[in-house]
Amino acid sequence: MDASEFRKRGKEVIDAIADYYESLDQIPPMSTVKPGYLYKIMPHEAPEEPESFDDIQDDLQKKIMPGITHWQSGNFFGWFPSNSSFPAMIGDMYSTMFDVVGFNWICSPAVTELETVVMDWLGKLIGLDKRFLSIKEDGTEGEGGGVIQGSASEAHIVAMIAGREMVLERIKADGQVSDDEASSMCHKFVAYFSDQTHSSGQKAANIIGCRTRIIESDKDFRLSKRSLVAAIEEDKNAGLVPFFVCGTFGTTNTTAIDDLAGIADVAESERLWYHIDAAYAGAALTCPEFRPLAAGIERADSFNFNAHKWMLTNFDCSAMWVADSKHLVNALSIHREYLPRVKGDTSFVKDYRDWQAPLGRRFRALKLWYVMRMFGASGIRAHIRSHVKQAKWLEDKLIEDGRFEIMAPVVFGLVVFRIKPSAVCPYDDYEDVDPNVVNKANTDLVKAIQADNRVFLVGTKIKGNDVVRAAIGSTIGKQEHVENLLEVVLQLTSNVVNSI
Ligand SMILES: *Cc1c(COP(=O)(O)O)cnc(C)c1O
């Protein structure tokens, strides 16, 4: 494929992409293929000779499309949204065009500098404390800064590594133990989570090889200060070394918000690294009315949210900030002659390879730049607010119906509900209803919704209860999609309840 062929075919592909987005409402959101479907219809070796573009296009429609679950559909309410937008796609196309590997400033200065600029823009857009910004008001560099990670999970890993570095350095500086002894203490390090913390916390701990302490969340699914203090006391008495705590702004199950300020008190007094995971709900902070809910984030050591979830930016774009990059860079910076750095004046030079696990990195700042410029702060806020409004509408309608119970406050775009016990067994006393029967009704409802395939959502389990989760937030999602969702839920609930 030469440039002129690319010019022609590329335009066809753009047309196909636009057509796809325009036709999304007409196709069932969930793929229904069975495992192994593709292997059966694919050749088992790469072609020896080049194949025609038309043949590949044809296979894309016939073989790949059936195996796609359409996350961009307005009828997709599963997990959390994975927003895409045309401006972000255009940014990504240019990133693909340059295809530079921007691990050091010197690799391609614009890759680094645009990231620094847009991460400061984004930090200000969500009202982040100025400690987290790269450039101070006087135009000089600060200690903090933002970096784009591939995922919130990667942010969790690097935050934990920075925390370990910070605590190790302190132990060494205290001079009570030798440097070697200090390093060998890592297996005594404990990271603190709640039972609602995303699985990426445990994964990060597995990767770096530290202990974890999973603290039971309170009745509102929040990590409380009191339970954190108690856990830390116990562990210290057992000779362990608390080093890291994660607070969540918008948990995955229910969008609960931990006691972020209370955790900050503990992190300060115990000198722990304090990471805040706002992977999903962080996008809401673009709207000032949500910021009071996040009081305490200004005291974190690191903060992260996924622009690729609810902020109109195609995967992958996980925005992470640290208040002081020193520990991160100390932990992850490794010198080799083939990785040259700028010599002399290094102000405004960030070698982002020292801020992440991989060496190579894509030019991801471009898509964020296109998104922020083409939607503007007002467009981004309107996007968030419209979904929150739709979620509250759904909540009201479910309550109005009488058969449902809302299982967690609807704060953002997530509605967590279930068919309530009295609707499952109307003749029993509420107290006597077998919880297994209620759970089964709700898992049956999720199965029925998935089998019906007019809309897609998933269930989850919270404090022993099976519940239904509807995550509103698709880029093209409108009120009418949520009305469609409600209609499906009401109808299939009747089927489920009648068949008990
Ligand atoms: C989705 C989610 C994550 C994981 O996000 P990735 O970017 O896929 O790693 C982490 N934390 C929370 C609270 C989430 O909702």
pLDDT digits (tens, 9 = 90+) for 160-196: 999 999 999 998 888 888 888 887 888 899 999 999 9
Instruction: Name the one residue in this structure whose structure tokens are 């784009």.
Output: 148
Q: And the tokens for 461?
A: 């389990």
Is residue 415 assigned to a domain? yes
Atom of ligand 1 nearest to the CA of 306: 7
> What's the first-to-final CA gap in the chain, in angstroms?
60
SS3 percent helix, strand, coil of the chain, rounded to 5, is 50, 15, 35
Task: Using pLDDT thresholds of 50, 70 and 90, give the confidence band for residue 345.
Answer: confident
Please give the distance, rounded to the nearest whole angstrom, from the Cα atom of residue 422 to the centre of ligand 1.
Answer: 34
Residues 6+ apart with CB under 8 A from 7: none
Q: What is the pTM of this model?
A: 0.95
Q: And the tokens for 191?
A: 């990271």
What is the tens place of the pLDDT at every residue in 51-70? 999 999 999 999 999 999 99
What is the tens place of the pLDDT at every residue in 268-282? 999 999 999 999 999
Task: Using pLDDT thresholds of 50, 70 and 90, give the confidence band for residue 338.
Answer: confident
Contact between 300 and 145 (Cβ < 8 Å)? no
Q: How high does pLDDT run on average in the chain? A: 95
d(CA 431, CA 442): 18
Please give the distance, rounded to the nearest whole angstrom, from the Cα atom of residue 374 to the centre of ligand 1.
Answer: 26
Least confident residue range of 19-33, 126-140, 181-195, 388-402: 181-195
Domain count, the chain: 2
At residue 167, the pLDDT reads 94
CA distances from 364 to 74, 83, 87, 391 (A): 25, 15, 13, 30
Residues in the ligand 1 pocket, defined by CB under 6 Å: 80, 151-153, 198, 200, 248, 251-252, 277, 279-280, 306, 318
Q: What is the CA radius of gyration of the chain?
A: 25
Please give the distance, rounded to the nearest whole angstrom, from the Cα atom of residue 424 to the centre of ligand 1.
Answer: 33
How deeply is 460 buried, as exposed, middle or buried, from its count of CB atoms within 10 A (0-12, 13-18, 19+)? middle
At residue 184, the pLDDT reads 84
* Domain CATH for 275: 3.40.640.10
Is residue 489 assigned to a domain? yes
Mark whether 400 and 345 lie in a shared domain.
no
Residue of the CA atom closest to atom 1 of ligand 1: 279
**DSSP labels, 296-334:** TGGG-SEEEEEHHHHSS--S--EEEEES-THHHHHHH--
Mark whether 345 and 395 lie in a shared domain.
no
Please check the confidence at residue 284 and state whether its pLDDT lies above 70. Answer: yes
Please give the distance, rounded to the nearest whole angstrom, from the Cα atom of residue 200 to the centre of ligand 1.
Answer: 7
Task: Using pLDDT thresholds of 50, 70 and 90, give the confidence band for residue 355.
Answer: very high
Domain span holding position 69: 21-82+383-500
Please check the confidence at residue 431 and state whether its pLDDT lies above 70. Answer: no
Mark whether 302 and 330 lie in a shared domain.
yes
116-138 average pLDDT score: 96
* Domain CATH for 428: 3.90.1150.170
Contact between 273 and 162 (Cβ < 8 Å)? yes
